[in-house]
Homo-oligomer: A and B are copies of this chain.
Amino acid sequence: MHIPKDFSMAPALRRRRQQLAKLIDFPVILWSGRSCSRNFPANTYPFRASSHFLYFAGLPIENAAIRLEAGKLELFMDDAPTDSALWHGEMPKRDEIAAVIGADAAFPMTELPSRANDAGTIAVQNMATQQQQSQVLNRPIFPANSPEGIDLELTKAIISLRLTHDDAALAELRQAGVVTVEAHKAGMRATQTAKIEAGVRSAMESHIISQNMGCSYSSIVTVCGEVLHNDQYHHPLQPGDLMLADVGAETTLGWAADVTRTWPVSGKFSPTQRDIYDIVLAAHDACIEKIRPGVDYRHIHLLACQIIAQGLVDLGILRGSAEYLVEMDVHALFFPHGIGHLLGLDVHDMEDLGDLAGYEEDRVRSHRFGLGYLRLNRLLSAGMLVTIEPGFYQVPAILNDPTLRSKHQNLVNWDKLEKFADVRGIRIEDDVLVTQKGTEILTAALPNKAEEVEDLIGAN
Q: Which positions in A face B, CB cutoff 8 Å?
A: 2, 4, 36-46, 48, 50-51, 82-83, 85-90, 125-128, 143, 194, 196, 198-199, 201-203, 205-207, 209-212, 217-218, 224, 226-234, 336, 345-348, 350-352, 395-398
Nearest first, the 8 A-B pairs at minimum CB distance are A89-B227, A85-B397, A206-B206, A202-B210, A37-B125, A40-B352, A202-B209, A198-B212
Q: CB-nearest residue of chain B relative to A222?
A: B89
Q: Which chain B residues border A201 with CB–CB below 8 Å?
A: 209-210
Q: CB-nearest residue of chain B relative to A400?
A: B85
B396 touches A85 (CB 8 A): yes
Q: A37-B125, A199-B210 are in contact. List 19 more A-B contacts (CB 8 A).
A: A38-B45, A38-B48, A39-B51, A39-B346, A40-B125, A41-B125, A43-B346, A43-B351, A83-B397, A85-B395, A85-B396, A86-B395, A90-B396, A127-B128, A194-B210, A205-B205, A205-B209, A206-B209, A212-B234
A39 touches B43 (CB 8 A): no
Q: Which chain B residues border A44 with CB–CB below 8 Å?
A: 218
Q: Which chain B residues border A345 with CB–CB below 8 Å?
A: 39
Query: Closest CB of chain B to A382's CB: distance in Å?
Result: 25
Query: Closest CB of chain B to A71's CB: distance in Å?
Result: 26
Q: Which chain B residues border A90 with CB–CB below 8 Å?
A: 396-397
**A196-B212, A209-B202, A210-B198 known; A40-B89 Cβ under 8 A:** no
**How many angstroms from the CA of A227 to the CA of B398 in the assembled complex?**
53
Q: Which chain B residues border A42 with CB–CB below 8 Å?
A: 348, 351
Q: CB-nearest residue of chain B relative to A226?
A: B89
Q: Which chain B residues border A350 with CB–CB below 8 Å?
A: 40
- Could you give 23 example pairs across A and B, Cβ below 8 Å? A36-B125, A38-B45, A39-B50, A39-B51, A39-B352, A40-B125, A40-B350, A41-B351, A43-B351, A44-B218, A46-B231, A82-B397, A86-B397, A86-B398, A87-B228, A87-B229, A88-B228, A89-B224, A201-B209, A201-B210, A202-B207, A202-B210, A212-B233
**How many angstroms from the CA of A267 to the CA of B217 in the assembled complex?**
36
**How many angstroms from the CA of A203 to the CA of B203 in the assembled complex?**
9
**A36-B36, A89-B224 known; A348-B43 Cβ under 8 A:** yes
Q: Which chain B residues border A205 with CB–CB below 8 Å?
A: 205-206, 209
**How many angstroms from the CA of A236 to the CA of B227 in the assembled complex?**
40
Q: Which chain B residues border A224 with CB–CB below 8 Å?
A: 89
**How many angstroms from the CA of A126 to the CA of B128 in the assembled complex?**
10
Q: CB-nearest residue of chain B relative to A209?
A: B202
Query: Closest CB of chain B to A7's CB: distance in Å?
Result: 12
